[in-house]
Structure 1
Amino acid sequence: EEIGEMIYGKEEELIQGNLVDYPEKLEKNYYPELLLYEEDSTEDERDQISDGEIKIVAQQIKNLMASDAKLNYKDIALLVRSKSQNNKIEDILRDYDIPVVLDEGRVDFLKSLEVILILDVLRAVDNPLYDIPLVATLRSPMFNFTEDELTRISLNAGSDTRFWKKLQMSDGKMITPVLKEKITQFLNKFTSWRKLVNELPIHELLWKIYTETYYLDYVGALPNGEMRQANLQALSTRAELYEKSGYKGLFRFIKMIDKFMEQNNDLASVNIKLPQNAVRVMTFHKSKGLEFDVVFLMNLQTKFNQRDLKESVILTRENGLGMKYTADLKKEEAVETDFPYALVKMDTLPYLVNKELKRNATLSEEMRVLYVAFTRARKKLYMVGKIKEKELEKYADIHLENGILPDKYRRSATGYQHWLLALQTAHSLPMIIKINTSSDLQDTNKKFTVRPNFKKLAEDSKKFDRIMDTIDEVKQARAVMDYEYPKEAATQLSSIQTPSQVKKKSYEKQLELGNILPTSEYVRVKQLELLDLDQHKITAAEIGSATHSFMQRADFSRPNLFDFQQTLDQMELHDEVKNKIDLPKILTLFDTDFGKVLVDNVERTIKEAPFSMLKTDEVAQEQYIVRGICDGFIKFEDKIILFDYKTDYFRSNDQISEIKKNYEVQMELYADALRKAYGVNQVDKYLILLGGPRKVVVERI
């Protein structure tokens, strides 16, 4: 009561373990754990969170995910005292392939690789005479030009010729038929983008680039794919806000971005769709009212903020002002000095009283914050801090007085970790303490991702022009490059592909065989839309993305209009996009037999399931990785029911049949991945078609 400024009775008492809901918490492995990182004397300042602390947490998360199949990343939260170290936490967790969302956001998405590449594409579209952005675009996963192909293009023209002109002059011995076709496809697509610069808003141009190149799907299949997709969506949203503010033109938008980057600044945060299944990082205060299965309290060694106690004036509600007294000792006969003044500040009695009141108030607030943090965990609580060697020895003589920690220890504590270690020594709390050193972190589950530096590759391409200075070397190079590699198809094979890319390959193959028509004979009539300057123009891509996001968030155990509307209202979407989501139509899904299966098996349903698998290319006879995310599946002991949402527009049964045919390959990829992952033979595949006029249609493939 004296320090905490609250009554701590039976109702407020912290009791270890919710044994009613989680009887297994009697087991020792559910005890709270204090994870301490023993730092070297050369490491960071004490208040700064160290890499070692975050790596301990990352390893613990990987172990938890491996040992508990029911645990999801979204069930885990990291609570921090302040958000100043959030970027470091996010970076290290990403290195361990752990998806993470910062509730306070971060301000350097312009530095992410996927955004840097898209900005280079925009620079090239705006002015293709700049070689570096253009070559970066060619080298990117969008077009996959190899170094050998770029060399051939460069050697095919003079050294003083811009790379854009070299692409247009792609005739000669250096250019193979395959490369010629690749250049033609690039020029057609790239030229179409340039024509749209003055016709489309920038954000619509961005979405056209995303969809035509499957780049959004590509980054989604990479580690932390959801966050990468969110970064691309943020760039589009920022472009839309930029044009709404009255500015126009791709050139000005690029200049604005470049200016921010030159000044080492970033764009303000925007409302974007963040990954749903990701570890949450938030402050203690923001976690109030929330609960998570697993909670990590980070950086507990940080000292309490007591700067107010060092001020010359301290104000309290009880006593008002307490001030230090400033005396000029030059007036005293015993003081001899050549300075004009000899000022000394001294504590007064009102100042000392107010200082003690303020100290108690600060400690009480910290105690209440720690109480809130302790009560956020449903199943497992981890507390993370760092110590120096032999630091635990100073707590050896601490003991309880009348069942509580003496005031002198509570008042002298400089941080949460001091309180915890003092209590553990004095009372032997049901808590496990683990101390890790840097050597313990050597054997990790860390996954490294090789990230190509596209700008460096583009700069290196300039070196190709220097070969032209020596004719003999050019002749030798041409002789080598005229060689036709017998396994050319294997060199064209991307090592990582998405289901959409595999589906596109299958579609093109069927098109060549004449099994399908190039376009549907059923054409949706586009109604004439009158210009409304006050209306936000909604694209089909936005509606489709928003609908998928809603279906992932919706609670299938209670399919009713009121709950669905609440879910939709909580989503960070433009109001006009929300209005386009037809909730009554979505509810018709649960009138179907399949919808009733969804309601009855909510606990068995897994949404947004990522997968990766090896496939063999029929032409190249080489293996490649397919990565993707299926919308969901229901797992039974003897079979799996796979489902995927599609927002393709349809009005007739023939169009439904065409949609089913278009997605057969993609759904079979998902099914094959599930068979291999869970060892089941039967995988039933269903398409949930949301693009109809009045009701949802469920079709089995």
Structure 2
Amino acid sequence: AKELSRVAENGEDHLSTEAAGEEEEANGEDEPEKESSEITVEEMERAELEARLIAFRIRDLVGSDGTSPYFLYDRKEKRMKPVRFRDIVILLRSARGWAPLFEEQFRLLGLPVYVERGGGYFSATEIQVMLSLLQLIDNPYQDIPLASVLRSPIVGLSAEELALLRLERKKGSFYDAVIRFTTSKGENGQSIEHQELKATLRRFLEKMGRWRDLARRGALSRLIWQIYRETGYYDFVGGLPGGKERQANLQALYDRARLFEEGAFRGLFRFLRFVERMKERGDDMGTARALGEQEDVVRIMTIHKSKGLEFPIVFLAGASKTFNEQDLRSPTLFSKDLGIGTDVVDFDLSIRSASLPKLAIREREKKEMLAEEMRLLYVALTRAKEKLYIVATLPDYKKEEERWKEKGGKGDEPLPAYHLLSAKSYLDWIGPALILPRDSSQDLSSNGASPRFKEGFTLQVIPARELSHPTRMKGEEIRSEIWETLRRFETVPVSLIHEVEEETGRQAMAEEELERILGWTSPYTPMERHPAKQSVSEIKRKMQLFQEEEEEQEMLWLGSGIDSGTGFASDAAISLRQASSSFPLRRPRLARRPRFMEEGGLTATEKGTAMHTVMQHLDLTRPLDRDRVEEELKSFVRRELLTPEQAKSIDIDGILRFFNTRMGRRMLTASHVYREVPFTFKIPASRAYPDWEGEDEEILVQGIVDALIEEEGHLLLLDYKTDRTDGIEDGELIRRYRLQVALYREAVGNIWRRPVARSFLYFFHGEKLLEVE
């Protein structure tokens, strides 16, 4: 019997085939597999989804959920026997990246699994912890190994406790911080948790001292075994998932240390250097073998390692994983028959393209790569004696199915060579080979099963989101089983109908929970609508706009008929706030003008910025006259504090007139003048946002004080303005900037812990000096 099933995730589909029979061994040499060095995030997600799908199917096969197991025919005993975990093998094109993810998912679902690895010893968690501890014994002034050991079960500190240790000594080595923490006095005023942490660290440092003495005097293997005994780490890892393999890894570390000492080199330092050189060369050792071939576990291996073997049930995972064409994208290709192929560079056109020899070599290498992949696929498809599942992931199955129909042959005809050569994955060969011709296809059924494939194969479509819910997965499989029973014109058991009804009820409850979660409203809505940080100028602008709106809230547009100027009907009433949301009452200020506009001169804002820059950097220790200011401006241009255009826009006479005022002379003779003083402090959000509702929160306010003048221990605050003041009363100018100056005074008082005695505004246009109470 053959079966095909498929799973999909939001837009990802997984495909799985099941077949029976025995085939001859594939021809070809047992070449080592080529593996890509990295696995992408998308590929990790697909691997986890396929692992979950396979795990669910295995649980059904062995009857782990209380269901009836699948039976296999035992040829030796000549009787039917239920499926056991040892009857199942998962084949991967490449174990790197995928095998650990499969192992993790299987263990999370409580399935026994064994992975045949060719490497990964030094990346095993228990080995990394032990190597970090050995590095620490060799030299405790290593921050990363120390943090690793303290965080490990050997000491068992939390991340918060590690942060507490670092706060004890913010600079210097982490080991010094630990020593300082453990030797600090004043335990009577410390919390119980604080004292317990100190006691834990003291015990660890005491053990460290003994281990360092043993490392200098005794054998390395004896040191490692002593650590196992004193810390209990060997027993601890034995209780974790995969405990036997973890203990075997620790045993192997002990054995390898003992073998190392039998050579010419000895000592902990030399052993650690030996391990580091192995890592640098990429000579990773395989994890220790902890399980025998007859253990009742699901085995995960590569297709290469499965050559010459047969298994009752085989899952081929990653059938949609793209072939590794990294070698074909190399800048230089080599061939023993065709020579060397490189890129051709046209320096005049700055174009790089592949040369004809490179194209020929690439085509030859691609054909050889595809031939090897086809041989491996043949091996994978012929390992199963009873059942074969092919699992794959697709972004959109329906589109992929249409492509298969276009590529597929008629009836039993072989696939065209062009389609064979254009394949990017195993599924590009399998799909077109199994799909039925267009005229014999039928519509996809509602339960996910499809009769679109050739006799003996069944397709099942399962959204990948359902793989996160084992009960939903089971319900989908029940529906598929009902469909298959109906196709065979057999009676559907009532128990299956009841199970579907129960599953439907569980799904309805899950949907209600989902609606509750998605319908949740944040209680911090005001905070989400307003920035958590504002400038003083922006707060002043918002407050000014709000006050203007409040004053003109009763303003009405009245008229007969439609006013051609406003577009409002007669008797229509609209507030300025409402109108501002529909009409551009204010021209927005651009952060940077286009180049074609810069030729017309500087804006008022840009001129004001330039004036503030000059007032910030003028040397107040030397007499100021026109020649002196012009010399300073040239210096600012050379230092790129100003552009030539900005320097030309400076009102030199206005600057000189300011320093001839009483405030200017006080600035020149003051004991200290602080210019362009930045600050950041907190204020209640309701002060910055007039429309704030709900509980009050705090926001950050930032700004820059133009000048703080210190006289006889008092502070004077001065804020320059370059605004035009024509026709504006002094009282109106003070009203406009009162909030801004008040925030400046509050910030200086809170941060400097000194009150501001008096505050002033100076307007260069009009030469006005106004005191703000």
Same fold (TM over 0.5): no
Larger radius of gyration: 2
Q: TM-score, normalised by structure 2?
A: 0.40
Q: Which structure would you say has the larger RCO, counting Cα contacts within 8 Å and 6 or more residues apart?
A: 1
Q: TM-score, normalised by structure 1?
A: 0.43
